[in-house]
Amino acid sequence: MSEFKKFSVVFKELQDALSYLTESELEKVASGGYQLSIRLQKKKVEGVSDKVDKKSPDYEIILNSLSNITNREDGMEFLNSHFKTKSEMERFARAIDVAVMKSDKLDRIRDNIIESTIGARLRSEAIQNKA
């Protein structure tokens, strides 16, 4: 495994761990009164195929449908019709590898999902058309 790939994996793990900190915990660390510590523990190793299998089949259908939506507003309506609570939206976001913090509100999670799916495609299309 290349050095870049190793650092990429480590930083992804750090990002995931930090996303579970509450706003007050983040402020404690930022104030200098507390410090973070890292502990290694063995976890169940899952391959790429395992990760896909663990996703709800509904999530894959929803993601495919979301990818076909042509604007952000329709995407927001679509997500609101499929996910009523913050925890449902959060589970979907994590399943499609969108970063979520505990302190994020439902609107913020929805916006992050929209930007990482529809928004990314729209930006890419805009860049390609201008080139």
Percent of the chain with pLDDT over 70: 88
The pLDDT value given to residue 77: 92
The pLDDT value given to residue 76: 92
For residues 40 and 68, the model is more confident at 68
Q: What is the C-alpha separation between 95 and 106, in angstroms, rounded? A: 16
For the residues of 20-50, what is the DSSP string, one character each? TS-HHHHHHHHHTS--------------HHH
List phi, psi (to 5°) of 21: -75, 140
The pLDDT value given to residue 119: 85
Predicted confidence (pLDDT) per residue in 35-60, tens digit: 888 877 777 665 544 444 444 558 88
pTM (predicted TM-score): 0.55
The pLDDT value given to residue 57: 53
Predicted confidence (pLDDT) per residue in 80-129, tens digit: 999 989 989 999 999 998 989 888 999 999 999 999 988 888 888 888 87
